[in-house]
Amino acid sequence: MTPAAITALRHKDLLGIADLAADEISLVLDTAEAMKEIGSRPIKKVPALRGKTIVNLFFEPSTRTRTSFEIAEKRLSADTLNIAISSSSVVKGETLADTALNLEAMNPDMIVLRHSSSGACHLLARICRSAIINAGDGMHEHPTQALLDAFTIRERKKRLAGLKVAIVGDLLHSRVLRSNIHLLTKMGAEVWVCGPPTLIPTEIRRFGVRATSVVEEAVRDADVIMLLRIQLERMEGAFFPSLREYFNVFGMTEKRLELASPDVMIMHPGPMNRGVEIASEVADGPYSVILDQVHNGVAVRMAVLYLLAGGSEHEAAA
């Protein structure tokens, strides 16, 4: 792997992949490679972020992402603080801006934010001096998920450019989709997105992707197939008639998989609905890298935390 040409990110925060340039993405992925080795040591901890305070501020329930961030933080020796606030208590309680100001008064170095509103971390970033890391905001972005997906693909395929990546599922409501589209197109992959027309965002082609509602077309010769979670409540919004019909039309089955490249990778950001977007045989089958994704999440988040802890080149120059 050629080393990244730059040594620092150009931003104080990680709000979305949309803000990153290709060389910044490469820097994160290269750094993550170094970080991954730490997880295989007998003592899985380095002193890099000793004395740094990181707040994990989660307004939405999340086991996987929060745990992954927390492990990453601890492996870098940061002091971590978990704050979980249910969205319902926010309705009665203080505003996000006030929460941010209160946290800021305690002088943390970084805030990892998960929130149900798109753009919530932009609001936080405007208020806070701390570096803000977006751990998923509404339907907007989930940048560390896209980075760990890219890391997993690159690890296996040794490249991103030129790969055909098919993303299938609920495109409309997915922050994972948006981050992945930005990342994969910036890195030169050929991205196909697929789902029922009711779940495809307006003007999706302007993102530089091919869109189809014929799953066979998306999957044909794909090097990577990424499945997105179908949320059961979407049925009531009349986005599709039934889970059974969704599975029949879009579900990833072994038969559909036969159309893909012989060394296809099957990915899913989790949590999975077996028998809805993915058949169990596929989820547990030889092509699945779903658990690798989870494993790599820690290294990628360590890389992001490490790179943002030093501040940006921009600030250093100023």
Partner 1 sequence: MPVVMDADRIGRTLTRIAHEIVERNKGVEDLALVGIRTRGVHIARRLARSLKEITGDEVPTGALDITLYRDDLMRHAVGPQPLVRRTEILFSIDDRKVLLVDDVLYTGRTTRAALDALIDFGRPRSIQLVVLVDRGHRELPIKADYVGKNLPTSPEESIQVRLMESDGQDEVVLQ
Partner 2 sequence: MKRLLKGGRVIDPGNGIDGMHDVLIDGDRIVRVGRDIPVEGVTVVEVPDGYVVCPGLIDIHVHLREPGQEHKETVASGTASAVAGGFTAVACMPNTTPVNDNANVTAYILAKAAEAGLARVYPIGAVSRGSKGELLADIAELKAAGCVAITDDGHPTASALLLRRALEYAGMFGIPVIEHCEDQSLKGDGVAHEGFHAASLGLRGIPGACEALGVERGVLLAELTGSHFHVAHMSARASLRAVRKAKEAGIRVTCEVTPHHFTLTDESLLTPVAYDTNTKMNPPLREAADRDAILGGIVDGSVDLIATDHAPHHYDEKNVEFDRAPFGIVGLETAVPLSLDRLVHSGLIRLPRLVELMATNPARVLNLPGGTLSEGAPADITILAPDLKVRIVANALRSRSKNMPFDGWELRGSVAATMVGGRPVFVNPEASIRL
Q: Name residues whose C-beta falls within 8 Å of residue 45's C-beta, 6 or more positions apart in sequence.
A: 38, 74, 75, 76, 77
CB of 293 vs partner 2, minimal distance in Å: 22
Q: Does 42 bind partner 1 (CB under 8 A)?
A: yes
43 makes contact, choosing from partner 1, partner 2, none, with CB < 5 to 8 Å by partner type, with partner 1
Count of residues near partner 2 by CB under 8 A: 25
Beta pairing, strands 210-212 & 110-115: unpaired
| Binding test (CB under 8 A) with partner 1, winner from 14, 17, 35, 96 | 35
Q: Does 154 bind partner 1 (CB under 8 A)?
A: no
Is 114 a catalytic site residue? yes
315 makes contact, choosing from partner 2, partner 1, none, with CB < 5 to 8 Å by partner type, with partner 1
Q: Exposed (0-12), middle (13-18) or buried (19+): which is 86, by Cβ within 10 Å?
A: exposed
| Binding test (CB under 8 A) with partner 2, winner from 8, 18, 46, 243 | 18
Q: Does 129 bind partner 1 (CB under 8 A)?
A: no
Q: Name residues whose C-beta falls within 8 Å of residue 106's C-beta, 6 or more positions apart in sequence.
A: 53
**Residues between 259 and 278 with contacts to partner 1, criterion CB under 8 A:** none
Range in contact with partner 2 (rule: CB under 8 A) among 3-11, 202-210, 259-267, 285-293: 202-210
Angle among Cα 183, 184, 187 to the nearest 5 degrees reads: 90
Instruction: Please state at what angle helix 175-186 crosses helix 143-157, rounded to 10 degrees.
Output: 50
Site track for partner 2 across 137-156, x = CB under 8 A: xxxxx---------------
Nearest Cα to Cα of residue 105 among 50, 55, 48: 55
Helix ranges (DSSP H) in the chain: 22-38, 64-75, 87-92, 96-105, 120-127, 143-157, 175-186, 215-219, 243-250, 254-257, 280-283, 290-309, 313-317
Is 65 a catalytic site residue? yes
Site track for partner 1 across 56-95, x = CB under 8 A: --------------------x-------------------
Q: Which is nearer to partner 2, 45 or 314 (CB)?
A: 314
Q: Does 114 bind partner 2 (CB under 8 A)?
A: no
Range in contact with partner 2 (rule: CB under 8 A) among 6-14, 28-36, 200-208, 243-251: 200-208
Beta pairing, strands 110-115 & 164-168: unpaired
Q: Exposed (0-12), middle (13-18) or buried (19+): which is 72, by Cβ within 10 Å?
A: buried
Range in contact with partner 2 (rule: CB under 8 A) among 3-11, 61-69, 133-141, 248-256: 133-141
Q: Exposed (0-12), middle (13-18) or buried (19+): which is 209, by Cβ within 10 Å?
A: buried
Q: Does 12 bind partner 2 (CB under 8 A)?
A: no
Q: Is 146 helix (H, G, I), strand (E, B) or coil?
A: helix
Rounded Cα distance between 6 and 14, Å, is 17
| Binding test (CB under 8 A) with partner 1, winner from 51, 262, 271, 286 | 51
| Binding test (CB under 8 A) with partner 2, winner from 32, 76, 112, 123 | 123
- What is the token pair recorded at 187? 């890195």
Among candidate residues 11, 31, 36, 65, the one labeled active-site is 65
311 makes contact, choosing from partner 1, partner 2, none, with CB < 5 to 8 Å by partner type, with partner 1
Query: Within its chain, how far is the Cα of 181 from the centroid?
Result: 11
Is 36 a catalytic site residue? no
Binding site for partner 2 (CB under 8 A): 18, 95-97, 115, 117-120, 122-123, 126, 137-141, 175, 178, 201-204, 206-207
